[in-house]
Homo-oligomer: A and B are copies of this chain.
Amino acid sequence: MINDKGKEKMNNKKNISDAVIRRLPRYYRYIGELKKNNIHRISSKELSEKMSITASQIRQDFSCFGGFGQQGLGYRVDYLYDELNKILGTDKGFNIIIIGAGNLGRALANYERIKNRGIKIIGVFDKNPNVIGTEVCGLTVLSIENICEFVNNNKVDIATLTVPRDQVKPMADLVVGCGIKGLWNFSAKELVVPEHVVVENVHLSDSIMVLGYKIIQKAEGAQNEKL
């Protein structure tokens, strides 16, 4: 019945905030660890200590999906893990193509951790004739001219965009035009896409700048302490 309650809420489209969504993979990782270590039960309090999140937030987060626990007993690790799997679609078997077989694109094609998440890389595309035809992780790099044909003949859920900055917009338009619903964008450029498309950005240069900023702040903080 816990399950039905959860489904009911999900169908009600109760909007789950981005903050909660972004914590889900983290829960998934920690619960996966517990499972691997043969821990069968955990309370929100214990988990909160491991994860440095308040127990209240954990319960609040899980209750967005109907709640997975048992009063007095906490959460069953197996069940929680399965539910998180369902929520995150690890069982959906997402297929992904990579646009741009440069260093980053090739690194992602070989990234084992992604493959462990029910995600399959089924195609790699590039513009450069010198790169087309080479092999990346068991796949032959195809010309971007063949993308639409490929998408029509295969279930493709996500396109990873690892192309130079000036090509990201045309490439995004192209794959969205072919019917792809999810973009994993590695270029430092915001994309404008139709309402039915989801974009997830990984802005590496933004990330390193934030780190730089924080290092400076910490150094200045230490400096001020001395005074």
A22-30, A73-81, A147-155 - the one binding chain B: A22-30
Q: What residues on B are CB-neighbors of A165 within 8 Å?
A: 113
Q: Given contacts A204-B113, A224-B13, are A213 and B88 in contact (CB under 8 A)?
A: yes
In contact, A218 and B198 (Cβ under 8 angstroms): yes
Per DSSP, are chain A's interface residues mostly helix, strand or loop, or mixed? Answer: helix
Q: Residues of B contacting A158 with CB < 8 Å? A: 208, 211-212, 215
B92 touches A210 (CB 8 A): no
Known: A104-B107, A106-B107, A107-B103. A200 touches B208 (CB 8 A): yes
Proximity string of chain A (201-219) to chain B, C-beta cutoff 8 Å, 1 when within and 0 when not = 0111111111111111011
- Let me know if A200 and B214 touch, CB within 8 A: yes
Q: Give residues of chain A (18-72) contacting chain B, Cβ–Cβ below 8 Å.
A: 21-22, 24-26, 28-29, 51
Tell yes or no: A89 within 8 A of B by CB.
yes
A181: which of B51, B113, B181, B218 is its contact (CB, 8 Å)?
Answer: B218
* Contact residues, A102-134 vs B (CB, 8 A): 102-104, 106-108, 110-111, 113-114, 116-117, 119
Please tell me if the beta carbons of B107 and A208 are within 8 angstroms of each other in the complex: no
A:177-199 near B, CB below 8 Å = 181-182, 184, 188-190, 196, 198
A174 is an interface residue with CB less than 8 A from chain B: no
Chain B proximity of A37: nearest CB distance (Å): 14
Q: Are A117 and B198 in contact (CB under 8 A)?
A: no
Contact bitstring A128-163, B, C-beta under 8 A = 1, else 0:
000000000000000000000000000001100000
Complex: A29 Cα to B200 Cα, angstroms: 18
7 further A-B contacts with Cβ under 8 Å, apart from A24-B210, A29-B189, A181-B215, are A11-B224, A24-B209, A28-B209, A96-B208, A103-B106, A158-B208, A182-B215
Q: Provide 13 A-B residue pairs closer than 8 Å at the C-beta atoms, listed in order of the A residue.
A: A22-B210, A26-B203, A29-B188, A89-B212, A92-B212, A92-B216, A114-B204, A117-B208, A119-B208, A158-B212, A182-B214, A182-B215, A184-B211
